Amino acid sequence: MSLASPLLTRLRQFNALTKPRVIQLIVFCALIGMVLAVPGVPSWPELELGLLACLGIWFVSGAAAAFNCLVEKGIDSRMKRTAWRPTAKGELSDFETLLFSTLMCFIGSAILYVWVNPLTMWLTFATFVGYAVIYTVILKPLTPQNIVIGGASGAMPPVLGWAAMTGEVGPESLILFLIIFLWTPPHFWALALYRVEDYRKSGLPMLPVTHGNEFTRLQILLYTFVLFAACLMPFVYRMSGWFYLVSAVILSIGFCGYGWALWRNYSDELARKTFRFSLIHLSLLFAALLIDHYLW
């Protein structure tokens, strides 16, 4: 056996700690914030700044994900959805995971501080603390509103992107923050509905466990209605045009439709479809903002 095989296996394990799919969405949302902060086509220096900001945000976000895996390794081992993680399987030690998380956070913070700006570094580090400590250690095991309150950390990427390019937090970035903040509960609660037994075994007080299936479905529906209104705000604030408005209305009607169907007639399969559509909703919504930015 070549030495490359164990090394590649180790690298895959560390990469898994960063939750790559989640990090991709985080960096994508941060990138949207960067693009919207720059009028017209970005210059080469702005492109370089944006790439460095994406890299720094990727490192710190990966560090937060790894720390989350370390703290929740016991919970992850009891849940089918997460039992494969290297920390849950004991493939990586606590020391290795903590060292990896610390190095990632340090490298990412250094990139942001030196080559982007201090505001972006501090906002990104605050997001790390919010997710890895306040949400993971304090909120998640204590309250069924963990997703709602902790959603503030997950909603920060556009704010980080905006700050990276402008050195300030503009109202436009706060509108994008609000959209992701309101999107997070129905997204995660749809997942929790069809994974309810996993969460029950884990001991986490997720809403379907503490308040039941029907109450959770009603909350999902109500949040999709409020989210619909929030998705119109970029157009109302004149930071986007008609292409975005039409896209936002179509996508939001679709999400509300899933929320209504889930509330009226529940099935695990419908909850899965709602969860998957929520990912499509946010991705296409922000893609529409990106396209619209260059149309008007």
pLDDT of 1 reads: 45
* Cα 108 from Cα 102, distance rounded (Å): 10
Could you tell me which CATH number the domain at 13-169 has? 1.10.357.140
Residues 6+ apart with CB under 8 A from 35: 42, 50, 161, 290, 293
Residue pair 150/133 in contact (Cβ under 8 Å)? The answer is no
SS3 assignment for 229-267: HHHCHHHHCCCCCHHHHHHHHHHHHHHHHHHHHHHHCCC
Q: Are 220 and 186 in contact (CB under 8 A)?
A: yes
Structure tokens at 150: 């902790």
Look at residues 239, 248, 246 and name the one whose alpha carbon lies nearest to residue 293.
Answer: 239
| Residue 141: closest CA among 52, 209, 243 | 209
- DSSP, residue by residue, the chain: --THHHHHHHHHHHHHHT-HHHHHHHHHHHHHHHHHHS-SSPPHHHHHHHHHHHHHHHHHHHHHHHHHHHHTHHHHHT-TTTTTSTTTTTSS-HHHHHHHHHHHHHHHHHHIIIII-HHHHHHHHHHHHIIIIIIIIIITTT-TTHHHHHHHHHT-HHHHHHHHHHSS--HHHHHHHHHHHHHHHHHHHHHHHHTHHHHHHHT---HHHHH-HHHHHHHHHHHHHHHHHHHTHHHHTTSS-HHHHHHHHHHHHHHHHHHHHHHHS--HHHHHHHHHHHHHHHHHHHHHHHHHHTT-
CB count within 10 Å of CB 277 equals 18
Burial class of 61 by CB neighbour count within 10 A (0 to 12, 13 to 18, 19+): buried
The two three-digit tokens of residue 287, written as one number:
């893609």
Domain residue extents for the chain: 13-169, 170-296
- Taking Cα atoms as reference points, which of 180, 160, 187 lies closest to residue 255? 187
Per-residue pLDDT in tens (0 to 9) along the chain, 296 residues: 454 577 788 888 889 989 898 899 899 999 999 999 998 888 999 999 999 999 999 999 999 999 999 988 888 888 877 888 888 888 889 999 999 999 999 999 999 999 999 999 999 999 999 888 888 788 777 788 777 777 888 899 999 999 999 999 999 999 999 999 999 999 999 999 999 988 888 787 889 999 999 999 999 999 999 999 999 999 999 999 999 999 999 999 999 999 999 999 999 999 999 999 999 999 999 999 999 998 86
Q: Which sign does the torsion angle of CA 238, 242, 243, 249 carry?
A: positive
Task: Give the other-Cβ count within 10 Å of 161's Cβ.
Answer: 28
Rounded to 5 degrees, what angle do the CA atoms 235, 239, 240 make?
55
